[in-house]
A and B are shown apart, each in its own frame.
Chain A
């Protein structure tokens, strides 16, 4: 994975991004896809719990809270001008 690649865990700096892919094919990665993290889906950063806690993102008209460890499975690309 090149250094330049951003994951959902970096979303707090980017705010709005589109999903490129979800890494892995275990049940957790598959579940993240089933929850709507599919290519080109727009995700918005909502907030993060203090002390490196979980983040809240919104996608597909709903909000999801997930830990940074799961967020790192989701590769994103910042959307400029948004």
Chain B
């Protein structure tokens, strides 16, 4: 039966964005569709196709953003996506036209690939991006001549400012008019470049000079000594800022949550649901949400790195070390992305041409310190590491945090070396990577990306963490004990959790974890953290707030470091250090397991990964615990 309320879908026109890596396809895609897909200033940011829609007049247009490529001969996973899509092998939609995206500052390299595309005999339009940068570097392209030479429409755009996008949209209405002349079909790449060079010579009224800014920055950042010094200072300031700059915002947030909790327990009638809301939900979710400022600082830094052009340089600087590990510089880019979250980091390995290198990178990516570990590290460090100033604004806490981040990174490289020398032995593979000019990241782009990551963090707090907190609260409060009138309220509450299902569960894991100095309370947290690492914090916040007689919302760090009348802390220093090391190594993340299963087509590698990381975490924690006790 026809539904008269919904109009028949109009015929949708399908276009694909094709072009060299880092030519600005995704930036253009975002400008066209209003979407907020991840962009960055290095080759290989986009590793999968993504579709978005827009309307031009009354016409529906669907745009598919494809990973960048240099030709139709794919050499890596992500390039295969592009070639297979263009061959119609991913076959959902009939392509009405190709939007070929070329960086206007290096036309002579993009045009030979455009010729490949024109030979496909699909209507094609050329979009020249970053024309502002091209002009700033003295370049002057005669677009009319270019259009005449190629016989297809040419549009110049500045994607991140949306310039030229309106003109481009008008072309989407009539793809049948795009192509007016035929182009030669050459056999060899050399011939295609010869053809391109001739065209560029005709249309370039003034040559493009190199980016002076890039040259000057590289003189410092790629200097063998200076570059590393600048990097270390920058990173130190960053880790310090996580404790110092974020502290006021976190304190403010804690005060709000605490007010909410006491308001809730004072106004609502006492009972089961009130307890669940005040002790379970507000306590559990609040403990994670206070980390929003720190997560924001972390992502701002990572996205700044990605958007500036430094990522490809970092790969260049570190390539020698990666070569020792049997990997290439591009693997390092995936590992750096994993510092935000291992899931996009593992996706980014699609840009690595060698399957062995790619697998080795996937296997070690979760060892790098993802943002979900930050709350756990921050809580334990602020509770157990003295806030002693070392030098100027730098404190022992900041350096400890930096140490944990470095430990994760170095462990990843060392284990990659071990895998490449044993399990995944193979010849050293080629490495070549385009180095984009430095570009000052647009404030808007960074803000949009940070906000969308924060949204994920808050959404998780409202779903996974919320659900986990409720389950945990139920496990802690059942089976219900009869309150003993001889005992105080607090003692009764402590009695309750001592006898709860949660305690049983935690105790059942003691044979495995007590050699690491974890008691049943920490074990409950570990169970929770398999769903999401942050759940460790909310779990422990609930368990310890009750057992230590917390009223309302307490700063979790202050609860776990508060000494009782005998001078004993609820978690000993040795246990805390052991727990930190456990979090460095253990694979406590269901999403990572799921993405590894998808990217490696099976359960074999995710199971291998879970096992080796668990053994590693156990051994490292055991050693840490013994050392800290001694």
Contacts and interface: CB of A to CB of B under 8 A. Distances in A.
Interface of A: 27-28, 30-36, 38-39, 41, 46-47, 49-54, 56, 58, 60-67, 69-70
Given A38-B194, A49-B317, A64-B433, A69 B106 contact: no
Interface stretch (B108-116, B416-424, B559-567): B108-116
B371 interface: no
Interface of B: 70-71, 73, 75, 105-106, 108-109, 112-113, 189-190, 193-194, 208, 210, 214, 218, 222, 224, 312, 315-317, 319-320, 323, 328-329, 428, 430-437
A50 B70 CA distance: 29
Contact of B320 (A30, A46, A51, A63): A51
B430 A69 contact: yes
Contacts of A64: 432-435
A62 B319 contact: no
B322 to A, nearest CB: 10
A39 B190 contact: yes
B435 A49 contact: no
B106 A61 contact: yes
A56 B435 contact: yes
A40 B222 CA distance: 29
A56 to B, nearest CB: 6
B351 to A, nearest CB: 13
Contacts of A30: 71, 73, 189
A34 B430 contact: no
B227 to A, nearest CB: 10
A27 B329 contact: no
Nearest to A59: B109
B431 A70 contact: yes
B112 A56 contact: no
B70 A27 contact: no
B434 A50 contact: no
A3 B224 CA distance: 32
Given A38-B190, A53-B316, A63-B214, 19 more contacts: A31-B73, A34-B73, A34-B113, A36-B193, A38-B189, A38-B193, A47-B222, A49-B316, A49-B319, A52-B320, A53-B319, A56-B222, A56-B316, A60-B108, A61-B208, A62-B435, A63-B434, A64-B435, A66-B430
B433 A65 contact: yes
27 contacts: A27-B75, A30-B71, A30-B73, A31-B70, A33-B189, A34-B73, A35-B109, A36-B109, A36-B193, A47-B218, A49-B319, A53-B320, A54-B431, A58-B210, A60-B108, A61-B105, A61-B108, A61-B208, A62-B436, A63-B214, A64-B432, A64-B434, A65-B316, A65-B431, A66-B430, A66-B432, A67-B430
